[in-house]
C-alpha cells in the first residue's frame, strides 16, 4: 500500500448548485493527490433549476428535480460540511461558517446562486415570495397547494412579477398544477386567477419576436392577465392579514393571495 500524499492544496466549494455538482463529478475522475476537496452547503439535496418548472407543475417529483450531494461527494472523495457560509476572510483565505470554525482555502469557488432584486419596491421584501432561494420557494409553494386543498371553494388570485423566461415558466406551471388540483377536487379551474406584471413591452426579453408573440398568445388562451409595461411600485398587506394589494405604475391595484417575485 502507498501512503496517501500529504495535503498541499485546499480546494473549497461554497454552495451545492448544479455547477458544483458537475465539477465534483469531473474531479472524481482525475488524480487529485495532495488536494483536499471540501463542499460547504446547508442542503444535501440541491434543486436543479432546469427541472424546477415541471416540479412546480407536479410532473416531476422531489428526487427527479434534486441532486443528492452525499453520494456525489463520496465519489469525488470530497469532505461534505453541512453548514451555511456567512462570510469571507480574504486576507487569511478563510470561509466563515455559521456553525463551524473557519475553513481555510487555497482555491475557492462560490456557487450560491442569486436572489431576485426587490429592495427598491416597498413591501416586496416583507410580502413577496422570491423565486430564489429555490428551497424557500418550494416550501411556500407546497404550503399554498395545501391551502388550496383545504379551501377549494374560495377564489384564488396569484400575482407574478417579472416576465422573463423564468417568470413565464413559473406562471404557466403554477397554473397547470393548481388547475389540475381544482379539477381533482371537483372544482372549476376558473376559481384561479393569475396576473403577471412585466416592465417590458414583450414577454421573454432577448428571445426572438416569434417566440414572444407565441408566449403572449398562450397567455391569452390560458386567461392569464398580462400587464406589459407596468412596473410594480408597492405591495401592501390587507387589513385581514391574509391578502395583499399590488400597486403598479399605471395606477392599477390588484388584490391577491400570493405575490411571486421573479425579476432580476
The superfamily in CATH containing domain 9-110 is FAD/NAD(P)-binding domain (3.50.50.60)
Domain range annotation of the chain: 9-110, 124-261
Identical fold at 9-110 and 124-261?
yes
Share of the chain above pLDDT 90, in %: 86
Q: What is the pLDDT of residues 23-47, one digit of tens each?
A: 999 999 999 999 999 999 999 999 8
**Strand, helix or coil for residue 151:** coil
Q: How far apart are CA 54 and CA 261, in angstroms?
A: 18
The CATH code for residues 124-261 is 3.50.50.60
The alpha carbon of residue 247 and the mean position of all alpha carbons in its chain are separated, in whole angstroms, by 24
**What is the residue whose three cell numbers read 388547475?**
179
Q: Give the pLDDT score at 117.
A: 62
What length is written for the chain? 264
Q: How far apart are CA 19 and CA 126, in angstroms?
A: 30
Q: How far apart are CA 80 and CA 103, in angstroms?
A: 12
Q: What is the pLDDT of residues 88-139, one digit of tens each?
A: 999 999 999 999 999 999 999 999 877 666 568 999 999 999 998 899 999 9
pLDDT band at 2 (very low <50, low <70, confident <90, very high): low
Amino acid at each position: 500500500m502507498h501512503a496517501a500524499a500529504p495535503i498541499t492544496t485546499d480546494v473549497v466549494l461554497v454552495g451545492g448548485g448544479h455547477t458544483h455538482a458537475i465539477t465534483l463529478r469531473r474531479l472524481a475522475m482525475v488524480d487529485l493527490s495532495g488536494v483536499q476537496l471540501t463542499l460547504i452547503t446547508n442542503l444535501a439535496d440541491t434543486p436543479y433549476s432546469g427541472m424546477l418548472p415541471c416540479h412546480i407543475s407536479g410532473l416531476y417529483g422531489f428526487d427527479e428535480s434534486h441532486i443528492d450531494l452525499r453520494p456525489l461527494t463520496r465519489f469525488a472523495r470530497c469532505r461534505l460540511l453541512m453548514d451555511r457560509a456567512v462570510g469571507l476572510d480574504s486576507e487569511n483565505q478563510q470561509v466563515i461558517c455559521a456553525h463551524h470554525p473557519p475553513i481555510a482555502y487555497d482555491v475557492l469557488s462560490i456557487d450560491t446562486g442569486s436572489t431576485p432584486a426587490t429592495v427598491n419596491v416597498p413591501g416586496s421584501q416583507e410580502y413577496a415570495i422570491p423565486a430564489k432561494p429555490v428551497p424557500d420557494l418550494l416550501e411556500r409553494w407546497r404550503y399554498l397547494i395545501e391551502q388550496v386543498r383545504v379551501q377549494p371553494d374560495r377564489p384564488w388570485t396569484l400575482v407574478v412579477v417579472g416576465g422573463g423566461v423564468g417568470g413565464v415558466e413559473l406562471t404557466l406551471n403554477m397554473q397547470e398544477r393548481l388547475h389540475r388540483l381544482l379539477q381533482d377536487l371537483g372544482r372549476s379551474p376558473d376559481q384561479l386567477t393569475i396576473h403577471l406584471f412585466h416592465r417590458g413591452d414583450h414577454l421573454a426579453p432577448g428571445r426572438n419576436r416569434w417566440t414572444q408573440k407565441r408566449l403572449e398568445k398562450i397567455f391569452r388562451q390560458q386567461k392569464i392577465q398580462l400587464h406589459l409595461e407596468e412596473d410594480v411600485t408597492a405591495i401592501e398587506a390587507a387589513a385581514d392579514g391574509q391578502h395583499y394589494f399590488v400597486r403598479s405604475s399605471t395606477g392599477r391595484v390588484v388584490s391577491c393571495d400570493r405575490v411571486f417575485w421573479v425579476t432580476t
